[in-house]
A and B are shown apart, each in its own frame.
Chain A
């Protein structure tokens, strides 16, 4: 129940965290530690040619964390494929969090281009984890295209709105033969718990932790929330009923 496996690789934590938007590298390092995550996402960008800035990798213990490069900011299958290939050479891992964005304001995925890019990258030997809409049919098509997991959004990236369509996440879990990771939209711990209670295999988040007033405390909250949600899912919740069902015995009441 504790670990989960994607493409044959087992992770101790079901929480995947990002490396963006932290106020300082030191805060990020402490938040990562508090999160208990063992997979973290990174972006692929042109190097800073003046070399005055330190490298992100100066702050990440790659013996402890598995790096998942993303294709954030890519608006076509070609751009995403190019970025994935570059990310593979930086990190020497063939895993990619595949993003093909369809709209600047919402950052919603372009499903058609996403499926196309997934097919190409799978053929090239990548382990593809696509960031997708909370659409069970899109998720099924991605799985058919060879995705190693599907990562439906809970809400728009960075919005903190929580899971907008819980029923779709539940259906996606029911349909999928690959792991389902709720990616994006988490605002606070209960959102992460809900994702796990719906049956998600994992949750991926960045802004909810990095943007919190105390990112280290929020990282720990998320660690606990993911565990609690998974435990509750595994434990099997009681059915919902419209009316009360007393917990204390009716017999032996005083004065009756």
Chain B
């Protein structure tokens, strides 16, 4: 009976250790720092060639779409700005002034080469501000 119990405990410990190992290894190898533009700039030069994720607002007028589908634009935190180069699927809501999240590498010539581009809505989703444009003259 005791022998059986020990086998179980061993099996359970093995499973727990394996899962922990997978989690630990997974976190260690795939983790990515999420920075603001300012934090990225502050970490030059260590940040060069490491994989990071950066968020910022798309600078109006900075978007250049090439015919081959690649994209160049700038993002800013209001103070500092970085150049981004991206190739891939462009989200439908990507435009001037939206909050963009890019993931990739910041290269030595100070261009962010992104392979992931996400865009968030510029305003809070349930904001009522926009309704004021359509209000009835009822008051």
Asked if A and B bind, the verdict is no
Mark B residues whose CB is within 8 Å of A.
none
Mark A residues whose CB is within 8 Å of B.
none
